[in-house]
């Protein structure tokens, strides 16, 4: 019986670690956004609108009706007519998604 409890505890720990790893870091996402996305999109802390008028701010993206982490991840991995085709590593996608989704609570 004890070994079953230990196995369950180890499994729970592994699942929690995997979830934390899959979630991403909003702070790292902000750093990436400032370095890679700010040429077109307005990020938190910048004044005015997006430098590229066709590019929504990250706050606008976050508060788009129906926006979810899954939808945003799919959008970042799909080519767009108005956005350059970027190859973003999975870890960076998770961080950018975590950053943008964190803006929902700042409404």
Instruction: Spell out the domains of the chain, with CATH numbers in brackets.
Output: 25-106 (1.10.760.10)
| % of the chain with per-residue pLDDT over 70 | 74
In whole numbers, what is the pLDDT of the chain averaged over residues?
A: 78
Cα–Cα distance measured from residue 44 to residue 58, given in angstroms and rounded to the nearest whole number: 8
Q: What pLDDT, on a 0 to 100 scale, did the predictor assign at position 85? A: 78
Q: How many CB atoms lie within 10 A of CB 99?
A: 25
Is residue 82 within 8 Å of residue 54, measured between CB atoms?
A: yes
pLDDT, greater one: 55 or 97: 97
Task: List pLDDT tens digits, range 24-36.
Answer: 999 999 999 999 8
pTM above 0.75, yes or no: no
pLDDT band for 46, please (50, 70, 90 cuts). low
């Amino acid at each position: 019986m004890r070994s079953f409890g230990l196995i369950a505890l180890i499994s729970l720990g592994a699942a929690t670690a995997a979830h934390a790893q899959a979630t991403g870091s909003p702070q790292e996402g902000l750093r990436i956004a400032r370095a890679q996305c700010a040429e077109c999109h307005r990020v938190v802390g910048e004044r005015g609108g997006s430098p590229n008028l066709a590019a929504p701010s990250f706050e606008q993206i976050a508060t788009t009706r129906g926006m979810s982490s899954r939808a945003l991840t799919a959008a970042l991995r799909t080519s767009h007519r108005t956005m350059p085709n970027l190859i973003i590593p999975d870890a960076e996608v998770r961080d950018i998604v975590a950053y943008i989704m964190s803006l929902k609570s700042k409404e």
